[in-house]
Structure 1
Amino acid sequence: MQPNFKPKNIVKTIEIFTQNGLKIVNQASKGNDWESVIRPLDKMEFELGHYTSVNSHLNAVMFNEEFNAEYEKTLPLITNFYSEISTNKALYQAYKNLKNTDLNEQQKHIVQDAIEGFELSGVGLKGESSARFKVIKEKLSLLSNQFSKNSLKATNEWKKLLNKDDLEGYGDDQLEKIKTDGGFEINLQMPIYMDVMTYADDRSLREEVYKAYVSRASEVGITSVEFDNKAIMDEILALRLEMAQILGFDNYAQLSIESKMVESTEQVIDFLQDLVRVSRPQAQQELKELQAFAGIELMPWDLSYYSEKLKEKKFGFKKSDLTPYFPEQKVLSGLFLTIEKLYNINIKEVEEYSYHADVRVLDISNKEGLVGRIYLDMYARKDKRGGAWMADYQPLMEGNKPVAFVVCNLNSPAGGKPALFEFDEIVTIFHEFGHALHHILTRVQYPSAAGIAGVPWDGVELPSQYMEFFCYEHEVIELISGHWQSGEVLPNELYEKLINAKNFQSAMGMLRQCEFSLWDIHTHSSNKDTYQVLKQVREQTALMPSIKQSRFLNTFGHIFSGGYAAGYFSYKWAEVLAADAYYYVRDNGGMDSKSSDSFMHNILEIGGSLEFMQQYVKFRGKKPSIEALLKSNGIDN
């Protein structure tokens, strides 16, 4: 279970492994049953994953030029290896032959899923089309890594040294985060950036930092032009379009939808536009209220600042009133207790070597013994990619327990205080643990469908978003809160204010997410410049104009270096499932109930081994409706 966090000669290792792997593939293609076809491939994938997942993980969380140079050399090797597998006609035929053998229900689903995967990966291509398809895949892997690298470097390049007088509006906790020997240094790391946007009274400072942030990795940014991602984005989009057309689709969105629960791009667009239609009137009222409160013509760098002030006035508290009650250790212990109640498991921190001193190693067990392990890396660092995510290191297979990495970019300890988390950060932790539990709690012994493997992309966010709902339960608040000095749990008065403010400006947030999703699906449905597409989408979704320097798409890693291309709608689609699931469990016993057990057994444990919506209906008794999503966001339909 202990990953090798000090890989050596990674290029040579991958070269040797992929060469041997192709021999295994060719042997498996001659098999005639599950044991001779899929079992050796599972073992091969299991072992290769040990190298590729660690290399990818370290490149994201401990970035340095020397390692990245070696890592980039492995990308074509890995991409070409998988291209060889996915276009191996003999192996494809072997899978098709398996359909006529004696398989259980899970095996039948896995085989059919694999056959469809072969077909979407170009197994039917010949000659120049096949060769070009492989070249495209290799180029995309390199471009995605370059996009991520440029985003990180552009983020790290901007810093500003300030005096305390420049930071009126900041509390002691915010000042401690940025205190240096020479004054106070701000940067574009998310926790620091959000503090400027939320607390800095100096409007010109907020404007400067906002413009630096939204123009990162672009031709108009204040960082080096060498980090401009626009040409990379254009090439990625062009290659995705070409890939889709080679396979016979009109555009990449159609190709993406083939492996999801939704039936068509039109269904996605209708779903999102329906949310826009329902949300926009309420969002307009929310912005009108904020505008009246601010008394000035609002600009983007004013929204977080005045929203925080308005929330304080309406609900009688501010974000900084909450943070002292949520020190890191209390939040984590409460999170673990919540998970233990939900899923009847135990989480224990163990002392074991990892790749960074900040990383916590967590062993997950149940009454049967050890279930799996999580490596938790929470704090923002200069050499760490922004955002939050879960990555799998090892699936469940033949006695080997699942292992996952959970990564966030949250506040770290400062000024003699423990890390004090804002509530949004707590939601993020719960979210990522939902993904990790989906991976760890699987009962599926087939790696290709264990945990999140094989789960349709528009279903993979269900367990994570489901976990978010529990952050707001009073029982959970009592577990995760404890003032860092007195140990006092969050007072009921503050809790009630938190709940009352839960859906503050939720319609504005809904519009923003729909904007991202509509831009994504339309960008991958056309051959237009992506910023022109954004301009057209914003005619439906935007309540205020964008500034000319905004190039936020240039660092949109979910789309250009992650797995969400033509699938960003999955967040909203899965939120419908999550809200529906949560209300069902809450109304039928809550945590530690049969309904909660049913969620674990039918969703988490099954992973991608059976049809996802079928499993949801088995848990819930019926398909979900959009009403649950609107209810959870406090949007009047």
Structure 2
Amino acid sequence: MSMLIRSGRILCSKKLLTVNPRNVGYIVLLPEIGDDTSKDQLSQSNGLPEFGNYTIENCTAAIARQTLEFESAVRKIERDIASSNINIEKDVLERLELISSPLELTWGISKTLYFGNNTLIPTKTYLPIHERARRARITKYNNIKIYNAVRNALSSEKEMDSEVKTVLKKFSLEGKLNGLNLKENELQMLKECLNKLTSEKHVLKQKIEVQTHQFSHTITEYNTVRDFPKDLLEITSMDSRNYLNGPWKITLQPNIYIPTMQYCPDREIRWNLWHRIVTRGSGYLDRDKATGIHIEEIRYQRHEVAKLLGYDTFADMSMETKMAGSVENVKKTINILLEKAKPAQDLEMKKLYDFSVENGFKYDRLELWDVPYWRKRQELLKHGFNSEEYKKYFPYPKVLQGLFQLCEKLFNVVLKHRKEVSTWHKDVKYYDVLEPHCSAPVAGFYLDPYARKDNKIHNLNSDGWMISIQNKSRICDKIPLAALIFNFDLPSNDSPSHLSIKDVNSLFYRFGHALQHLLTRTSFSEVAGLSNVEWDMVGVCGHVFTHFLYNEDTLKSISCNLDTGEKLPINMINSFLEVRKHMAGYDLSKELYLSALDLELYSKKDYWLKVVRNLWPQFRSFPLDKQDAHLCSFTQIFTEEWAAAYYSHVWSRMIASDVYGAFQEAEGDENQMKDVGRRFRETFLALGGSVESAKIFRHFRGRDHSHQSFLNYLGLDSNK
């Protein structure tokens, strides 16, 4: 999930970026504020953002003014805390809520424009806005007097509302993770560690980006690309107008590398691509581009940060913001899943090798660069699954209609398109979220579905975004607002946009993610929706919704061949349901390996190569190639936000499978299904970060979580 979208939370693996001096006020760099922009200019009479009036100038001016006002208001609260009669809820938390609201809204609007209309807010403009807003907001968590007032309130014997207590705990933890309980010399050491860490991450990231962009391979023979999907031919062709004639330029960008490995029949080309991607950062071709020294320095600095903050290891510190709770719990889960995944992987590789030999493979064994190609061939020839054939059954309007109907049926809400709302493009639509007991909308969201090459960001590593524009706040009387932004194909003159299976999955996932933001019922924005939800639980609601795609009734409700009126045929439904289990052991073993590798690197001091060599044979069915240095470019855990948290990808899917199991158990009984939907609405969607996820799960399921549903979903049933 994008750091920009998650910026509402300070998390120990990413956000220890700024340490402010204590008890000496704040050093504020005054930006150019420019002409004042009144609230009326930027809001419609209905209270929604007036996107049509937003410009680079007034976004920059608004952020500049609001950040100064916010920092000034924090200082005022700090001074008022000296009063012995302070009420922590009224005089601190509610005041912080009120002063945060304008800044958060402008920041949310700026993010939306950045992703939705990059000509209005280009990258060079947005990044300073983002950084200025982030620096301002962190002052409320970095204030020693607010921190001490919060701790005093938590240690008192006074009765308090459970949500207020959760907000106080959030401030207390984030203050601790920002070093507010350290002595002055320790605080200086923390600052030096963080500065060094930032520098090392920057250098490592640059080295990998350079090596990724430097490589390309040109294909001149059409026979080599004959099986490429049309969209892959178009993006690789050096002449997009004549994409069938070539030549075709293959790079290491994910949207090119991954499908090329799946569709390219030339084994030598596949090896060349694989070799170049796993040797990035190794120094194999260029010693100056080696990243090993930076990896070790990043690990060391994170370990030092953890020790200063009172933790044995950085992995232990990371668990402060995770449902799993401890490294031991994560490792135990990894081992339980591996007991079924590894034998399944071994059997899958044997079957894949036999299949490849039957179809012309002439080597003694399959290698890692062979698997994607023969896997795709096996899906097509043995399972009858061709993803390209499904697209004609998923017209965007039909898919959206089916998704909305599913949501309305499960959660007793109405999603209604509202016209005459200012947006950033004519294709964007705004929807009210309405509930039976309330005539006014309880939330609203913008939906921007189509790709626009000229003014819309197309991130190669993301298939869509859910942006929190405004959090729910009872104190500020604000409803949740969100933006869902995708890059689906544009409709033609006589035909609507048609979605690929990947597109449909993305739409369901992001929509489920958005519902947790939109249907929250908390009072404080600090714990509303996705705010304060544990990292390893953030993706759960999105994954729950993707599970509905493997329900036959759902597939029929979102599918329609516009030429024939036919729903998705039963044989294609069966192939789709079956293919999710194809190579499930291989895929899960790989994810478990990366999860274990991440935790081990941030739990132990062993040299990185020793860690890799020790873990690899436990998880993978291939010998480790002597030139394979995949860890050297594993940027997710070194330069991004997943340090000691990579396991969260598997964890959230495991929990989502168990949650969806309740819906499965109710299938065929409409009343039971509605009851499960109501419980899901009242727990996961309503409570957000106001209650620990483990308690929410117990309340929903009536028990602790289990791995069994996840194994069943993948066809790795532990009883078999």
Residue in 2 that maps onto 1:476:
554
Q: Take 1:618 and 1:479, find their aligned partners in 2: how far apart are those partners? A: 31
Residue in 1 that maps onto 2:3:
none
SS class of match (1:112): helix
Structure of larger gyration radius: 2
Does 2:462 correspond to 1:387? Answer: yes
Q: Which runs of 5+ in 2 are unaligned?
A: 1-47, 358-362
Structure 1 segment 282-361 matched on structure 2, within 5 A: 282-295=344-357, 296=363, 297-348=365-416, 361=430
Q: Take 1:236 and 1:476, find their aligned partners in 2: how far apart are those partners? A: 46
Q: Match for 2:263: what amino acid?
A: Y
| Structure 1 residue 51: Cα displacement | 4.5
The counterpart of 1:204, out of the listed 268, 272, 289, is: 268
Q: Take 2:645 and 2:375, find their aligned partners in 1: how far apart are those partners? A: 30
Contact 2:602 2:644 (C-alpha < 8 Å) held by counterparts: yes
Query: Residues 282-338 of structure 1, C-alpha deviation per residue, up to 9 Å, x if partnerless?
Result: 110011110111124323232122112212333233223323322434333332332
Q: Match for 1:394: what amino acid?
A: Q
Structure 1 segment 460-539 matched on structure 2, within 5 A: 460-483=538-561, 485-530=563-608, 532-539=610-617
> How many residues in Structure 1 have an aligned counterpart in Structure 2?
634
Contact 1:62 1:383 (C-alpha < 8 Å) held by counterparts: no
| Structure 1 residue 197: Cα displacement | 2.3
Moved more, 401-410 or 24-33: 401-410
Q: Match for 1:248: what amino acid?
A: G
Residue in 2 that maps onto 1:104:
161
SS class of match (2:469): strand
Q: Take 2:468 and 2:690, find their aligned partners in 1: how far apart are those partners? A: 17
Moved more, 448-457 or 267-276: 267-276
Q: Match for 2:409: what amino acid?
A: K
Contact 1:477 1:490 (C-alpha < 8 Å) held by counterparts: yes
Residue in 2 that maps onto 1:403:
481
Contact 1:169 1:199 (C-alpha < 8 Å) held by counterparts: yes
Residue in 2 that maps onto 1:169:
227
Contact 2:306 2:317 (C-alpha < 8 Å) held by counterparts: yes
Residue in 1 that maps onto 2:331:
269
Moved more, 332-341 or 435-444: 332-341
Contact 1:72 1:142 (C-alpha < 8 Å) held by counterparts: no
Residue in 2 that maps onto 1:90:
145
Residue in 1 that maps onto 2:321:
259
Contact 1:25 1:85 (C-alpha < 8 Å) held by counterparts: yes
Contact 1:386 1:409 (C-alpha < 8 Å) held by counterparts: no
Q: Take 1:565 and 1:201, find their aligned partners in 2: how far apart are those partners? A: 36
Q: Take 1:113 and 1:2, find their aligned partners in 2: how far apart are those partners? A: 29
Q: Take 1:73 and 1:515, find their aligned partners in 2: how far apart are those partners? A: 37
Q: Take 1:494 and 1:615, find their aligned partners in 2: how far apart are those partners? A: 37
Does 2:80 correspond to 1:2? Answer: no
Q: Take 2:390 and 2:675, find their aligned partners in 1: how far apart are those partners? A: 33
| Structure 1 residue 604: Cα displacement | 0.8
Residue in 2 that maps onto 1:614:
695
Q: Match for 2:88: what amino acid?
A: D
Residue in 1 that maps onto 2:17:
none
Q: Which runs of 5+ in 1 are unaligned?
A: none
Q: Take 1:245 and 1:632, find their aligned partners in 2: how far apart are those partners? A: 40
Contact 1:579 1:629 (C-alpha < 8 Å) held by counterparts: yes
Contact 1:188 1:213 (C-alpha < 8 Å) held by counterparts: yes
Residue in 1 that maps onto 2:186:
129
Residue in 1 that maps onto 2:96:
41
| Structure 1 residue 151: Cα displacement | 6.6
| Structure 1 residue 439: Cα displacement | 1.0
Residue in 2 that maps onto 1:570:
648
Q: Take 2:144 and 2:371, find their aligned partners in 1: how far apart are those partners? A: 55
1:510–1:521 Cα change, 3 Å: same
Does 2:301 correspond to 1:239? Answer: yes
1:142–1:407 Cα change, 3 Å: farther
SS class of match (2:514): helix
1:288–1:87 Cα change, 3 Å: same
SS class of match (1:629): helix
SS class of match (1:49): helix
| Structure 1 residue 202: Cα displacement | 2.9
- Over the residues paired in the alignment, what is the CA RMSD in angstroms? 3.8
Moved more, 350-359 or 438-447: 350-359
Query: Residues 522-577 of structure 1, C-alpha deviation per residue, up to 9 Å, x if partnerless?
Result: 12213445455333321211112455665555665543454332122223223332
Does 2:695 correspond to 1:635? Answer: no
Contact 1:87 1:124 (C-alpha < 8 Å) held by counterparts: no
| Structure 1 residue 84: Cα displacement | 4.2
SS class of match (1:392): strand
Query: Residues 28-70 of structure 1, C-alpha deviation per residue, up to 9 Å, x if partnerless?
Result: 3414231210112123333332344455666677789x95555
1:362–1:551 Cα change, 3 Å: farther
Q: Percent identity?
A: 24
Contact 1:602 1:618 (C-alpha < 8 Å) held by counterparts: yes
Moved more, 546-555 or 424-433: 546-555
The counterpart of 1:584, out of the listed 652, 658, 662, is: 662
Contact 1:63 1:383 (C-alpha < 8 Å) held by counterparts: no
Q: Take 1:424 and 1:120, find their aligned partners in 2: how far apart are those partners? A: 38
Q: Take 1:629 and 1:172, find their aligned partners in 2: how far apart are those partners? A: 34
